Amino acid sequence: MFWRVASPKGSSNARPISWIVVSFGVVAVFLTFASWFILSNPIGSTFHGYFYGVENSASKASDFSVSQTNTTSVDLHMNANLDLVDNKPLADLQPSIVSSGVSSDNSKIEQTDTNSNSEVPFGESASPKIVPVTKEVNGLETSDAMASKAPIPVSATNSSIMKGCDLYHGNWIYDPLGPLYTNNSCPVLTQTQNCQGNGRPDKDYENWRWKPFQCDIPRFDPRKFLELMRGKTLAFIGDSVARNQMESMLCILWQAEEPENQGHRNIQRYYFKSTSVTIVRIWSSWLVKHNSEPFDFAPAGVEKIYLDSPDEMLMEFLPTFDIVVLSSGHWFTKQSAYILNNEIVGGQLWWPDKSRRMKINSVEAFGISVETIFTALVTHANYTGLTILRSYSPDHYEGGGWNTGGSCTGKTKPLSPGELVESKYLVAMYEQQVKGFNRAVKKTTNGSKMRLMDITEAFQYRHDGHPGPYRSTDPNKITKRGRDGRPPPQDCLHWCMPGPVDAWNEIMFEIIKREFDRDRTL
């Protein structure tokens, strides 16, 4: 029996309640289906974004900004100077040039605005403008905070890095896990960089890891690196600071496998049999051709730098390399004559005719040399590899140069932002390096790829990471200032191992992974 709804007087259209319930059910089913259809189609994604997608919308905006960054110019800035040379007594290492140094007397940063068109994808090169960092960025404490607080442990997770993350802006965070190796577990470590083996009393400089604001860089896993590089050759080419990075890489990889030394007089070569990976180092102090033979009015004995001719040995081996890491600059403080278009156009610590005007100085010569070598790489018919330019490595001589009383003795923790001081020399060298790189990239005719590994700003904070006076095992070496206040001879350019230099290889690992990921998606 059906229940009937009361109807107006005289009406014969009384309907059962069950019919009304069925009608509502049909409408509900229709609305449910329609909602599902809208949310499952392109237009639905828009609604889904409005209802649920604040993070998704931000992600889309971020993706757009990343793609736009590839074509925008960036501001380029930096700080400090000078170089030490391979396998020579310290007295022979640098010319008599006084570094402007870095002061720890709460000096403020002076900034110079210089634009340079970047050819490097976002994340491989970021603007290195030096600015005081706020106390917290994206929930992370900055190095200003860490200077006044207890050490901040870094995450020990090995999570993959965010694609597109800016690797070059962040801070140094204390890592209680310690370094990736010890000075006793690496047999190829150059003694002058073996700070613990040379008696340095403190060790905290080994524990600070570089932490980008936007992501975590995983700890370097040597086995994963060797597997990623299976069958490939990685070459480090440059001066003694390039050697510093190459030895850091070997020390890390040595923890997974001992390589075979296959080097000879002109080239260092280490072969990892399990994955057929080869690590190579070629000494090239200027990356361009040079000799000490007489030329025009420059006599024998003065080094001649041919700014428009790439290093011949580098070019000879280039087709055999899959990845090349180039770095240079510090030897441009050494006595030399600069030759361009078969003409002497300038000199460093050498110019016999004071009435004759030099056409270029050492900083400009550096920029030309960078453009020359990278142009040679991007136009080489038989090279299609990945080239990484490691940007200029800062030194930390305070109060003078290496031979005029400069010192980094007693530095035990990273600088805070307020302690950085601009060095016009470093700013100029850095800018010339990046400009030369960008000019060369525009000339690319082969399938090679160029990336800038922009470490200069981050490493200005690491005045604690140099050997200082701990350069040898000599038990009688002088490590403290004398009664007259003069510091002992010391190295404030190269990096202790283990130490900050290991971060270069962690960053480089990320760059290589990104490039290989891009190649797989093409």
Q: Return the pLDDT at 402.
A: 73
pLDDT band at 244 (very low <50, low <70, confident <90, very high): very high
Of the chain, the percentage scoring pLDDT greater than 70 comes to 69
Q: Which amino acid is at 369?
A: S
Mean pLDDT of 344-351: 96
Burial 162-175 (b: 16+ CB within 10 A, else e): eebbbbbbbbbbbb
Contact of 94 with 333, CB cutoff 8 Å: yes
Q: What pLDDT is attached to residue 372? A: 98
Q: Is the pLDDT of residue 267 over 60?
A: yes
What is the rounded distance in angstroms from the CA atom of residue 82 to the CA atom of residue 100? 10
Note the pLDDT of residue 467: 97
- Residue 92 pLDDT greater than 80, yes or no: no
| Residue 158 structure tokens | 């090995």
Cα–Cα distance between 195 and 118 in angstroms, integer?
Answer: 37
Q: 10 Å Cβ neighbour count for 360?
A: 16
Sign of the alpha-carbon torsion through 211, 406, 410, 88? positive
How would residue 64 be classed by pLDDT, with cut points 50, 70 and 90?
very low
More confident residue, 3 or 312: 312
> What CA–CA distance (Å, rounded) separates 394 from 211?
19
- The confidence band for 85, taking pLDDT boundaries of 50, 70 and 90, is very low
Catalytic annotation, pick one of 240, 248, 285, 407: 240
What pairing do the DSSP bridges indicate for beta strands 233-238 and 277-283? Answer: parallel
Task: Indicate if the pLDDT at residue 428 is higher than 60.
Answer: yes
pLDDT of residue 519: 81
Per-residue pLDDT reduced to its tens digit, 138-187: 233 333 333 333 333 333 333 345 567 899 999 999 999 999 999 999 99
The answer to whether residue 249 scores a pLDDT higher than 60 is: yes
Task: Give the tens place of pLDDT for each residue, 185-200.
Answer: 999 999 999 999 999 9
pLDDT of residue 404: 81
Q: Which residue has the higher pLDDT, 99 or 253?
A: 253
Token couple for 385 = 């590899």
Which residues are CB-neighbours of 76 under 8 A, at least 6 positions away?
A: 114, 115, 116, 127, 128, 129, 430, 431, 434
Per-residue confidence (pLDDT) for residue 203, from 0 to 100 = 96
**Phi, psi for 33 (deg, rounded to 5):** -60, -45
Distance CA 514, CA 522 (A): 13
Whether 22 shows a pLDDT value over 90: the answer reads no
Please provide the average confidence, as pLDDT, over all residues in the chain.
Answer: 77
Helix orientation angle between 54-69 and 42-52, rounded to the nearest 10 degrees: 110
pTM: 0.72
- 67: annotated active-site residue: no
Is residue 110 predicted with pLDDT exceeding 70? no
Among the residue ranges 270-279, 442-451, 481-490, the one predicted with the least confidence is 481-490
Does pLDDT of 227 surpass 50?
yes
pLDDT of 358 higher than 60: yes
Cis peptide before 498 (omega within 30 of 0): yes
Q: How far is CA 440 from the centre of its chain?
A: 19
pLDDT of residue 18: 54
User: Has residue 123 got a pLDDT over 90?
Assistant: no
User: What stretches of 306-423 show up as alpha helix (H) in DSSP?
Assistant: 312-317, 362-378
Asked if residue 382 lies in contact with residue 71, where contact means CB atoms within 8 angstroms, the answer is no
pLDDT value, residue 265? 82
Q: What is the pLDDT of residue 417?
A: 81
Distance between CA atoms of 458 and 241, rounded to whole angstroms?
16
Catalytic-labelled residue, pool 311, 464, 491, 502: 491
Active-site position among 290, 396, 466, 494: 494
Report the pLDDT value the prediction gives residue 61, as an integer from 0 to 100: 31
Higher per-residue pLDDT: 225 or 399: 225
For the stretch 475-522, pLDDT in tens is: 999 999 888 888 999 999 999 999 999 999 999 999 999 999 888 876
SS3 per-residue string spanning 79-121: CCCCCCCCCCCHHHCCCCCCCCCCCCCCCCCCCCCCEEECCCC
- Between 246 and 145, whose confidence is greater? 246
For the stretch 20-24, contacts whose Cβ atoms lie closer than 8 Å and that sit 24 or more positions apart, written own/partner, are: none
The reply to whether 494 belongs to the active site is yes
Query: Do the bridges between strand 233-238 and strand 323-326 make them parallel or antiparallel, or are there none, so unpaired?
Result: parallel
CB burial of 484-513 (b: ≥16 within 10 Å; e: otherwise) equals eeebbbbbbbbbbbbbbbbbbbbbbbbbbb
Model confidence at 133: pLDDT above 90: no
On whether the 170-521 domain is CATH 3.40.50.1110, my answer is yes
Mention every residue, 6+ apart, whose C-beta is less than 8 A from residue 471: 90, 192, 198, 477, 489, 490, 491
Least confident residue range of 9-18, 428-437, 479-488:
9-18
CB 462 within 8 A of CB 484: no
Q: What is the mean pLDDT of residues 116-129?
A: 35
Query: Rounded to an integer, what distance in angstroms lies between the CA atom of residue 129 and that of residue 205?
Result: 24
Quote the pLDDT of residue 400. 86
Q: What sign does the CA torsion over 424, 427, 428, 429 have?
A: positive
| % of the chain residues with pLDDT over 90 | 61
Q: State the average pLDDT over residues 218-222.
A: 97
Check residues 120 and 456 and name the one with the higher pLDDT. 456
The predicted model gives 36-56 an average pLDDT of: 33
**Active-site residue 116, yes or no?**
no
Residues 263 and 308 sit within 8 Å (Cβ to Cβ): no
Letter for the amino acid at 40? S
CB of 147 within 8 A of CB of 135?
no
Q: What pLDDT does residue 396 have?
A: 94
